[in-house]
């Protein structure tokens, strides 16, 4: 399915287009299964809500925020879909793969969407003064954790494309390909001022590029894309002082931070068949920061 490693050529017509000419049905995720990591709060929770609103059954992953259990119950009640919360150690491939396999088994034997949203910030200022332990932790979660999720999900998508069945051998209905979506950052495109966060910036640049690489490797069974938010009002930016936040606003053409709800449309687009011809792209949603 992938490129011929001798010639670099790709097989023709290896990923189908959706049928029909109406656009709104393409955004439906009814009957599909999605996993969203780092979904106990903030951006991840907003993504899970968006996919559930479109009809997907959702597995939300959390590390230590047990509010995810209540949020899963709230999603089930509000949107009428199946939603369960799973505590997963994103730093261990064995934990990631075991959870993905368990969810596929529990959720109708299929996987359609994986949103790799887990990530941690760098809060120690200039790299020269920062801790190497923190550096290793940021790189491990933001890069290695993302790759662990990609590998575990892609194994299912490759099988589904080859066999066209659910895990238990049933027909795989309403399915074109898998969709892997990473939460990157505008910081993968720029060096933030006044926030000194070289390690975080490097990790998010890596996330953007690895998605492009997955897009090439996975042709025939899955698409891979990323979303790069700018400054969004979440708990993750709580370490910034109000003075720093004001400086940030002065550099944003829209003059304000974004709200997590303003990211929902991009993730739904990439998760759904509306983006069936989109792979290897990164969507910047930053209030114009990178354009200024």
Q: Which sequence positions are flagged as catalytic?
A: 185, 200, 204
Q: Identify the CA nearest to 116 among candidates 224, 261, 246, 251.
A: 224
DSSP 143: I
Strands 57-62 vs 33-36: parallel, antiparallel or unpaired: parallel
With beta carbons less than 8 A apart as the criterion, state whether 287 and 256 touch.
yes
DSSP 11: P
Q: Alpha-carbon distance 50 to 45, whole Å?
A: 9
Q: Alpha-carbon distance 94 to 70, whole Å?
A: 26
Q: φ, ψ for residue 244 (rounded to 5)?
A: -65, -40
Q: Alpha-carbon distance 129 to 124, whole Å?
A: 7
From residue 149, alpha-carbon distances to 21, 117, 126, 189, 281 in Å are: 33, 10, 30, 23, 18
From residue 271, alpha-carbon distances to 36, 191, 243 in Å are: 11, 29, 37
Considering all CA atoms of the chain, what is the largest pairwise distance in Å, rounded to the nearest integer?
58
Q: Alpha-carbon distance 28 to 169, whole Å?
A: 24
Reading the block at residue 267, the tokens are 């993730």
């Amino acid at each position: 399915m992938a490129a011929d490693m001798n010639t670099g050529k790709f097989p023709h017509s290896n990923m189908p287009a959706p049928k029909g000419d109406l656009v709104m049905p393409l955004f439906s995720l009814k009957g599909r299964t999605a996993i969203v990591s780092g979904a106990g709060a903030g951006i991840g929770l907003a993504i899970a809500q968006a996919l559930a609103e479109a009809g997907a059954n959702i597995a939300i992953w959390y590390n230590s925020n047990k509010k995810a259990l209540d949020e899963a119950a709230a999603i089930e009640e509000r949107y009428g879909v199946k939603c369960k919360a799973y505590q997963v150690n994103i730093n261990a491939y064995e934990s990631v793969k075991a959870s993905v396999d368990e969810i596929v088994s529990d959720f109708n034997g299929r996987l359609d969407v994986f949103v790799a949203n887990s990530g941690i910030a760098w809060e120690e200022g200039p790299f020269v003064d920062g801790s190497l332990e923190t550096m290793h932790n940021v790189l491990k979660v933001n890069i290695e954790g993302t790759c662990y999720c990609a590998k575990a999900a892609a194994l299912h998508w490759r099988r589904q494309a080859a066999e066209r069945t659910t895990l238990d051998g049933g027909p795989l209905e309403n399915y074109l390909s898998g969709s892997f979506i990473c939460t990157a950052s505008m910081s993968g495109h720029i060096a933030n001022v006044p926030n000194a966060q070289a390690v975080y910036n490097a990790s998010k640049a890596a996330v953007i590029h690895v998605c492009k690489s997955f897009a090439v490797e996975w042709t025939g069974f899955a698409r891979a894309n990323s979303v790069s938010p700018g400054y969004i009002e979440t708990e993750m930016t709580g370490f910034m002082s109000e003075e720093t936040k004001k400086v940030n606003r002065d550099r944003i053409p829209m003059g304000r931070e974004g709200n997590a709800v303003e990211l929902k449309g991009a993730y739904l687009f990439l998760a759904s068949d509306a983006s069936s011809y989109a792979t290897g792209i990164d969507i910047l949603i930053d209030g114009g920061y990178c354009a200024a």
